[in-house]
Amino acid sequence: MGASVTFHDRIGPERLTVAVSPLSLQQAHAVLERAIAEALRTTLGPRLVEVELTLCADPEMSRLNFDHMGERGPTDVLSFPLHDWELEGPHAHLADDGPMAAPGGLLLGDVVIDVEQAARQAVDGGWSPMEELALLAIHGALHLVGHDHAELEEERVMRTAERAALAALHRHYPEIAWQPGSLFDRAGHAVTTGS
């Protein structure tokens, strides 16, 4: 798989351990890295890429959400892409031939996930926080390469890419009690405008 993920822990290992239990932090990082890799594989193919993933708490996400989206309070995930992309169905390509990839791969940008918000959404939806975190990682990664859900057709294409990435993730980690389909398809999960 051609995606490398650099993790930034802004919530602290104790709180993150509670959120991803019964998985260890190492296992949770592996699941999140695989989630991002599967999302990007569905849209970019085998291209070598890098993603920065920050796991934070409500205060930091509230600040980021206000600074970048003009919204008050926390949101579940924000993406900060470094490049412009064009989509042809689920497949993305750089809008202007873009920069050459570095030896480790093309840096796509940053995904920030609010672990506290993800845990609340998981409780509200009746699934595990790890499932919610994995979906938010997939969702955020897809935003890095031009996917959006502002219009119905865009949302349909993005949901299809999410489902493909989730299906691959479910096959790779059968020991996790996954709920079927995309969490965004389930009642009780609200798609926030901050994504």
d(C-alpha 95, C-alpha 145), whole Å: 10
On whether the CB atoms of residues 85 and 28 are closer than 8 A, the answer is no
Single-letter code of the amino acid located at 49: V
From the number of C-beta atoms within 10 Å of its C-beta (0-12, 13-18, 19+), residue 152 rates as: exposed
| Domain range summary for the chain, segments of one domain joined by + | 3-185
Interval 71-107: pLDDT, tens: 999 999 999 999 999 999 888 988 876 665 566 689 9
On whether the CB atoms of residues 74 and 28 are closer than 8 A, the answer is no
d(C-alpha 45, C-alpha 82), whole Å: 19
pTM: 0.91
Q: What is the DSSP string of 94-121?
A: ETT--PPPBTTBEEEEEEEEEHHHHHHH
Please work out, in degrees rounded to the nearest 5, the angle formed at the alpha carbon of residue 50 by the alpha carbons of 91 and 156. 30
Mean pLDDT of the chain: 88
Interval 7-41: pLDDT, tens: 999 999 999 999 999 999 999 999 999 999 999 99
Interval 151-174: pLDDT, tens: 889 989 999 999 999 999 999 998
Which architecture, in CATH terms, is 3-185? 3-Layer(aba) Sandwich (3.40)
Structure tokens at 188: 């009780």
What share of the chain in percent tops pLDDT 90?
Answer: 67
C-alpha separations of 81 from 26, 84, 141 in Å: 26, 8, 9
Interval 118-154: pLDDT, tens: 999 998 888 899 999 999 999 999 999 999 988 889 9
Structure tokens at 76: 């579940």
On whether the CB atoms of residues 146 and 90 are closer than 8 A, the answer is no
